[in-house]
Amino acid sequence: MSGRIIDGKAIAASLRADVAAAVKALPSQPALVVVLVGDDPASQVYVTSKGKATREAGMRSVEIRLPADTSEADLIARVDALSRDPEVDGILVQLPLPKHIHEANVLAAIDPLKDVDGLTEASAGKLVLGKPGLRPCTPVGSVILAKTERPDLAGANVVVIGRSILVGKPAALLFLEQNASVTIAHSKTRDLRMVCRGADVLVAAVGRPEMVRGDWIRPGAIVIDVGTNRVPAPEKGEGKTKLVGDVHFAEAIQVAAAVTPSPGGVGPMTIACLLRNTVLAACARRGWTVPDALAQS
């Protein structure tokens, strides 16, 4: 018996439609600025797709592309100027940055009111304290996907594999906000497989291709696969690659109640949640009422 595939593309499309409806109800267009440093191919694809999605939602999209040898000081100055620009509602600095630039220093220059990626210290602090604020997009998307299968997460055992500040830690806090009982597991966790088998909801965010096998999953669990890993694909020809998640999908779908595919699961939700954050940021900063289309999303 096979489990269900959680269609992240369809769920994200619904959220994006809500965002577009909300934008039409606003006094003016919110503006999202995405800053890309260098020529990393994957980052270029991400930036292009974010810009396209922003425009499709009816918002202004600005892409700032800087050379790889941009200095840290110049980048911080650019971000600081965007933070002070009253016409800019959201700022996203595409990660990773070139190695000579300290990401933490750049993120610190983002006005927390425009931190649509939810990565500044102020945003993280509000999440920990349970105060209103902008939340990281990928963890929010993961919770939304889990709730499509289990709308009430109160009392659920949630295991998050991974403790990064980008996904693992904020995801754990967001599931706690849903009154779930949360375990953060990682490379030093003893008997990781058995810890995972206790999960009603298993979130894999470790960046290791197909690490989570079928026998790691409790029958009937919900599996949210955050991983996106490029691996060799000899079946496609010499030198070809493919994308796989942190979960062995073919095995997981035979055991779990529902599984997100990778790609096509969490990824589309990340962009949809970025658009939602941009609208929420604009409303909070400009004193606008959040439109009904997003008030309950």
pLDDT surpasses 80 at 295: no
Which residue in 18, 94, 114, 115 is the catalytic one?
A: 94
**Partners of residue 259 on adjacent β-strands:** 5, 223
Residue 115 annotated in active site: no
Q: Which of 119-123, 173-177, 228-232, 247-251 has the lowest mean pLDDT?
A: 228-232
Residues 63-78 have pLDDT tens digits of 999 999 999 999 999 9
Which residue in 50, 115, 178, 200 is the catalytic one?
A: 50
Residue 94 annotated in active site: yes
CB 149 within 8 A of CB 258: yes
> Average pLDDT in the 148-158 region?
98
pLDDT surpasses 80 at 186: yes
Residues 245-258 have pLDDT tens digits of 999 999 999 999 99
Burial 237-267 (b: 16+ CB within 10 A, else e): eeeeeeebbbbbbebbbebbbbbbbbbbbbb
Which residue in 18, 111, 117, 246 is the catalytic one?
A: 117
Residue 183, SS3? Answer: strand
What percent of the chain shows pLDDT beyond 90? 90
**Dist. CA 163–CA 177, nearest whole Å:** 17
Residue 50 annotated in active site: yes
Q: Which domains does the chain have, with CATH numbers?
A: 26-114 (3.40.50.10860), 137-268 (3.40.50.720)
* Average pLDDT taken over every residue of the chain: 95
